[in-house]
Chain A
Amino acid sequence: MSCETVAGKFEHLSAPYSDAPLRREIIDAVANLEAIQVADLARLLARAGDPKPLQSSPKGS
């Protein structure tokens, strides 16, 4: 996948559980992983939430 494709997928999947500034911060953190600590990324991920229940129950392999 290209950067643009994966960024679009990330936006689509995470939008129900995060606001646009947080999504931007996560994208930037991943792009600059060499410059941060894992704990910094974890703190951003902890801010996602306020989920709505999913209706379907996917079956994996």
Chain B
Amino acid sequence: MRITHAEQLAAFVVRASYDHLSETARHQLKIRVLDSLGCAIGALGAELIRLIRAQIEDFGGAGRCTLIGDGRTAPDLAAFYNCALARYLDFNDSYLAKGETCHPSDNLGTAQAASEYAKGSGRDFLTAVAVAYQVQCRPSDVAPVRDKRFDHTTQGGYAVAAGVSKALGLDETRTADALAI
């Protein structure tokens, strides 16, 4: 039976575990989490952030996830808001592949919202972030799209799906579905 790329990637996501992370990887992940949170908090006064906040206050839905800087909203909107915060200053991390540059910490807000929604532990969160980083950066190395005039958010879309799937504890079928979307 032929296995799709999404199914192969889903198998990697589901098998990945905190125990697979080296001490160095865990340490470096925490450095990037703190770096990204600094960027996020530092953007709390931005006008764009205020506009997103106003939209969330109008359409926020069930308050299952926490906003940086106070408040709760639906998981997807919390992810949107916290990701916008981390990205707004354009001071977050960069991964410089040969033919691609991406910002893997774009994944933190989604991983945080999904982990909080799933009542996850810090270990679960770190594992989800690690998976998202790997799914963002490895394709940037081996399958860059910049020269084809696509943005690095192409790989980012897979990375977000991978990180959220891991945080939610989805099985291979559901993870593959999320990646395929």
Chain A residues in the interface with B (C-beta under 8 A): 1, 3, 6-7, 9-14, 16-18, 26-27, 30-43, 45-49, 51-54, 57-61
Contact = CB atoms under 8 A, between A and B. Distances in A.
B57 interface: no
Given A6-B34, A31-B30, A54 B45 contact: yes
Contact of A42 (B65, B121, B124): B65
B66 A52 contact: no
Interface string B75-104: 000000000000111110000000001000
Nearest to B33: A30
Interface of B: 30-31, 33-35, 37-48, 65-71, 87-91, 101, 112, 115-116, 119-126
**Interface of B: prevailing SS:** helix
Contacts of B31: 1, 3, 6
Given A7-B34, A13-B42, A53-B45, A42 B66 contact: yes
A9 to B, nearest CB: 6
A61 B116 CA distance: 28
Contacts of B87: 60
